Structure 1
Amino acid sequence: MARDLREFINQLEQRGQLRRIKALVDPDLEIAEISNRMLQAGGPGLLFENVKGSNFPIAINLMGTVERICWAMNMEHPEELETLGKKLALLQQPKPPKKISQAIDFGKVLFDVLKAKPGKTFLPPCQQVVIEKEDLDLNILPLIRPYCGDAGKIITLGLVITKDCETGTPNVGVYRLQLQSKNTMTVHWLSVRGGARHLRKAAENGKKLEIAIALGVDPLIIMAAATPIPVDLSEWLFAGLYGGSGVTLTKCKTLDLEVPADAEFILEGTITPGEVLPDGPFGDHMGYYGGVEDSPLIRFHCLTHRKDPIYLTTFSGRPPKEEAMMAIALNRIYTPILRQQVSEITDFFLPMEALSYKAAIISIDKAYPGQARRAALAFWSALPQFTYTKFVIVVDKDINIRDPRQVVWAISSKVDPSRDVFILPETPFDTLDFASQKLGLGGRMGIDATTKMYPETDHEWGEPLESDIDVAAMVDRRWVEYGLGDIILNEVNANLFGYDIK
């Protein structure tokens, strides 16, 4: 079981899913170009051992496939992600057990929570080397610049750790940071994120916000930090639930914050409320360069790291990217939670080509008129991460939502745009979405692609075309006899469209 970055790298190498690059490479543009080609090809993770201008190697594309993300979460198959989602759903809204088996299941989950509590250590590997004050120079880090139009070097896979100055509740998020000087960076976070809330509260109390950045952590912790599920549990506890045992934490050298003890690097600093600098532009997940925004300035005064540390990074952009693979895995985890929140939803899918959150396809077991519209509205409010979903397409439960042919057929054959398309104007929106007329404010569209019933329509619906049951069974039996035994239709479809259509 991989419990830190190094163990995960070893695991990938043992499974033939890691390439070590010994040639000299430049973190400015070159590493991102190489990694992007690997991502397009579904290739292995990369470890660049000879990085221009740095003594530290760079690891990238470690989570470039859903399979490797499953490995990071100590699983072998994507189906296990839904099992984890069921566990989290039970914790989110526990119901009184009606059967002995349900009570046993709930008891097992509570035991998992106890096992998932963070541990502590006073001799953390992340503090084997300490650099403070005037000796600190962030330029020793091999920060990459992915695109030629980017404003500078960035951190992309750092855990940004803050806490509420009144309650002490921590928040762990993954936000982009831009290098501004040898000891300062700006952090780019949305106003709804935990770190931004903590900064506002620090400002109200006239305090600076303590902030730590953990670099090169167990990828499992990154997945936990990227899971914005509305459960009253910390990201550390989520990571423990994901991994089956608690994360080992340690106190920062100069801050009253706890960080992963096995991280490769820890940056320690503070934000003075109101102190900002221009941040951006940078290539973003939408496939364009984002704008320039004034963002909070972090002043760092301490850097600690392991002996011979490894720098872990990634970059955003039009899919496929590592963030898209992470979103596919999270989609599986969300499914049981969403079913619990919106009972009529039988399944949902966030296509990678739609940036893994801009369009959602949901299927329902339709029982009454108007139910599709109700399900779409409920979806938008079910979980915070669905706030910025622009399109929701609702189909019947017999439609395979992961097969684009079936979804397009449902839209084409069951939708009357004048009746089945509805738009919510001027809702809070993603400022990185340039399609909006006003940045931060945009519309959402729901499409009812279900079979209509009275009074949604005043005429009978046609009978769907289906194979004769007896003939279909006979063809199944004789498939090999036809000389077609080497052709498995589901595999052909999966290869053609790149979807898991089981």
Structure 2
Amino acid sequence: MTRNLRSFLNLLEQRHQLHRVKALVDPDLEIAEISNRLLQSGGPALLFENVKGSNTPVVVNLLGTVERVCWAMDMEDQMELEALGEKLGKLQSPKPPKKISQAIDFGKILFDVVKSRPQKVLFGNAPCQEVVLQGDRVDLNIIPMIRPWCHDAGKVITLGLVITKDPENGIPNISVYRLQQQSKDTMTVHWLSVRGGARHLRKAAEMGKKLEIAIALGVDPLLIMAAATPIPVDLSEWIFAGLYGGEGVQLTKCKTIDLEVPAQAEFILEGTITPGEVLPDGPFGDHMGYYGGVEDSPLVRFQAITHRRDPIYLTTFSGRPPKEEAMMAIALNRIYTPILRQQVTEITDFFLPMEALSYKAAIISIKKSYPGQARRAALAFWSALPQFTYTKFVIVVDETINIRDPRQVVWALSSKVDPVRDVFILPQTPFDTLDFASEQIGLGGRMGIDATTKVPPETDHEWGEALESDPDVAAMVDRRWAEYGLADLKLDEVDANLFGYDIR
């Protein structure tokens, strides 16, 4: 079966996770308001079939639960995500096999990489190019872009794959950035200076060239997950997507620029950026839960739009969690875990709570064996992967603490931390420009908290003995539980929603 947005929508409909809205809805504020209420309750994906001012249906809340994120990656539960992380970790830092079985396992992984190479679709045969609009026919208003929040500056594209390539070596970069419509054929693109697209634009400027850029809308959600996975492996996002899905991504050449794009996409926008040509972008509601500022951002001029016959527009919006981006982050957390363990060996587990915006605070557990190890683990965490650069708080606990249980984490903070000894601050570090908490935009501090049990010379006194049930009595109570008439009671259920872990 061909993988694309439509096949995934069919899957959701079969599993009763897609709701079709036939009533007339407005893309200005109304669609986002409806979707936001469904996101809060873990509701189904929404397909708006009757959108004001457009003949194109709009899909929102596609990846609004962790369960649906897993389905998008051909997985049924989160534990399979960790197995994928193990595979990517071995590719990132391969070690010489010591046994025949290890060599066979690594050979299987390399074979998976070979299978994951993109498949080329013949020029002119791609579904995304069934309709071609060029010149004066280019009009972004055919796309029912939404405006999510009442003080947003305009209409936005939020879930498009932004494709550029390095002007020097031709290696592509595929990411997800926000774009604001400026006119019928222009948009501004909002990307951080450290991202791949921004690096490509700087190189193009140094070479005196325009940067070619393509936006793919309405793609297989697997491609969105691949683009959102900034793992430092020397493979393209297309290979990532192939590894995720078990087969190569179908690509085709653009009509007017030298880029390859997903052949099964609903829309493709083809354009260029002239270095130095910018327009004000924003404000927009963002994942921090506030409106961001106004920034001069690169201007994209589009010279072609191609799309399927009867296309479908896929979108989302940012805001205070829970939002789709938070559900995606929870799934990516599982993929990162084995990779992080490989980078920082003492870490036994880590967690990025959704309420902490999925990256602002991290809780890591370690198997502690020497003094100062918690501080070392926190420092190593910040430098392990690029996406942890903007993590403000790192809490380190013992391996016996369930880091996904907020009750246990708060207990560790309350019972094991002396703020004078166990809290350390790193000042003047890179800071998220969307975070208003710092005095200077783009520059701020980080905090590490050692909530582990202290060992000499971290403390000069004996640590109290932890309270534990008598094992014989505990075993007896287990055996007699039904006899007490308590068999129907469920104990030790964690309200994991407090940390955004198990939203359904």
TM-score class normalised by the smaller sequence: over 0.9
Structure-2 separation of matches of 1:388 and 1:121: 39
**Counterpart position of 2:164:** 162
Structure-1 separation of matches of 2:2 and 2:375: 44
**Counterpart position of 1:334:** 336
Alignment map for 1:102-121 (pairs within 5 Å): 102-121=102-121
**Counterpart position of 1:437:** 439
Identity %, equivalent residues? 83
Task: Give the Å deviation of 1:488.
Answer: 2.2
Q: Which amino acid aligns with 1:53?
A: G
SS at 1:181 equivalent: coil
Which of 481, 485, 488 in structure 2 is aligned with 1:486? Answer: 488
Task: Give the Å deviation of 1:483.
Answer: 1.8
Pick closer, same or farther for the CA change 1:203–1:495 going to 2, 3 Å. Answer: closer
Task: Give the Å deviation of 1:451.
Answer: 0.3
SS at 1:423 equivalent: strand
Q: Which amino acid aligns with 2:373?
A: Q
**Counterpart position of 1:4:** 4
Structure-2 separation of matches of 1:348 and 1:261: 37
Maintained 8 Å contact 2:133/2:305: yes
Q: Which amino acid aligns with 2:9?
A: I
Alignment map for 1:88-487 (pairs within 5 Å): 88-122=88-122, 123-487=125-489
SS at 1:83 equivalent: helix
SS at 1:131 equivalent: strand
Structure-2 separation of matches of 1:198 and 1:498: 35
Maintained 8 Å contact 2:22/2:50: yes
CA deviation map 1:89-132 (0-9, x unaligned):
00000000112221111011001001100000111000000000
Higher mean alpha-carbon deviation, 482-491 vs 336-345, is at: 482-491
Maintained 8 Å contact 2:181/2:188: yes
Task: Give the Å deviation of 1:499.
Answer: 3.9
Task: Point out where structure 2 has 5 or more consecutive residues left out of the alignment.
Answer: none
Maintained 8 Å contact 1:89/1:336: yes
Task: Give the Å deviation of 1:387.
Answer: 0.0
Residue 72 of structure 2 corresponds to residue 72 of structure 1: yes
- The alignment's C-alpha RMSD in Å is 1.2
Task: Give the Å deviation of 1:498.
Answer: 5.8
Maintained 8 Å contact 1:403/1:499: no
CA deviation map 1:308-366 (0-9, x unaligned):
11000000000000000000000000000000000000000000000000000000000
TM-score, scaled to structure 2: 0.98
SS at 1:111 equivalent: helix
**Counterpart position of 2:16:** 16
Structure-2 separation of matches of 1:67 and 1:332: 13
Maintained 8 Å contact 1:215/1:264: yes
SS at 1:489 equivalent: coil
SS at 2:454 equivalent: coil
CA deviation map 1:248-296 (0-9, x unaligned):
0000000100000000000000000000000000000000000000000
Maintained 8 Å contact 2:355/2:499: no
Maintained 8 Å contact 2:353/2:501: no
CA deviation map 1:195-218 (0-9, x unaligned):
000000000000000000000000
Structure-2 separation of matches of 1:327 and 1:27: 26
Structure-2 separation of matches of 1:4 and 1:484: 49
Structure-2 separation of matches of 1:303 and 1:496: 43
Maintained 8 Å contact 2:180/2:188: yes
CA deviation map 1:19-77 (0-9, x unaligned):
00000000000000000000001000000000000110000101000000000000001
Structure-2 separation of matches of 1:499 and 1:115: 33
Task: Give the Å deviation of 1:383.
Answer: 0.2
Pick closer, same or farther for the CA change 1:412–1:4 going to 2, 3 Å. Answer: same
Structure-1 separation of matches of 2:303 and 2:502: 48
Task: Give the Å deviation of 1:2.
Answer: 6.7
Maintained 8 Å contact 2:406/2:496: no
Structure-2 separation of matches of 1:490 and 1:498: 18
Structure-2 separation of matches of 1:58 and 1:412: 47
Number of residue pairs matched by the alignment: 501
TM-score, scaled to structure 1: 0.98
Q: Which amino acid aligns with 1:330?
A: L
Q: Which amino acid aligns with 1:10?
A: N
Pick closer, same or farther for the CA change 1:412–1:431 going to 2, 3 Å. Answer: same
Structure-1 separation of matches of 2:213 and 2:494: 50
Task: Give the Å deviation of 1:489.
Answer: 1.8
SS at 2:435 equivalent: coil
SS at 2:168 equivalent: coil
Task: Give the Å deviation of 1:495.
Answer: 6.9
Structure-2 separation of matches of 1:192 and 1:460: 47
Maintained 8 Å contact 1:2/1:11: no
Structure-1 separation of matches of 2:439 and 2:494: 41
Maintained 8 Å contact 1:361/1:393: yes
**Counterpart position of 1:48:** 48
Maintained 8 Å contact 2:241/2:249: yes
Higher mean alpha-carbon deviation, 395-404 vs 465-474, is at: 465-474
Maintained 8 Å contact 1:420/1:447: yes
CA deviation map 1:441-460 (0-9, x unaligned):
00000000000000000000
Maintained 8 Å contact 1:130/1:303: yes
Residue 31 of structure 2 corresponds to residue 31 of structure 1: yes
Maintained 8 Å contact 2:354/2:499: no
Q: Which amino acid aligns with 1:297?
A: L
Higher mean alpha-carbon deviation, 474-483 vs 213-222, is at: 474-483
Q: Which amino acid aligns with 1:76?
A: E
Pick closer, same or farther for the CA change 1:492–1:201 going to 2, 3 Å. Answer: closer
Pick closer, same or farther for the CA change 1:499–1:479 going to 2, 3 Å. Answer: farther
CA deviation map 1:174-228 (0-9, x unaligned):
0000000000000000000000000000000000000000000000000000000
Task: Give the Å deviation of 1:491.
Answer: 3.6
Pick closer, same or farther for the CA change 1:189–1:27 going to 2, 3 Å. Answer: same
Structure-2 separation of matches of 1:207 and 1:300: 16
Structure-2 separation of matches of 1:487 and 1:72: 35
Structure-1 separation of matches of 2:273 and 2:306: 19
Q: Which amino acid aligns with 2:267?
A: F
Task: Give the Å deviation of 1:494.
Answer: 4.5
Task: Point out where structure 1 has 5 or more consecutive residues left out of the alignment.
Answer: none
Maintained 8 Å contact 2:353/2:500: no
Structure-2 separation of matches of 1:467 and 1:280: 57
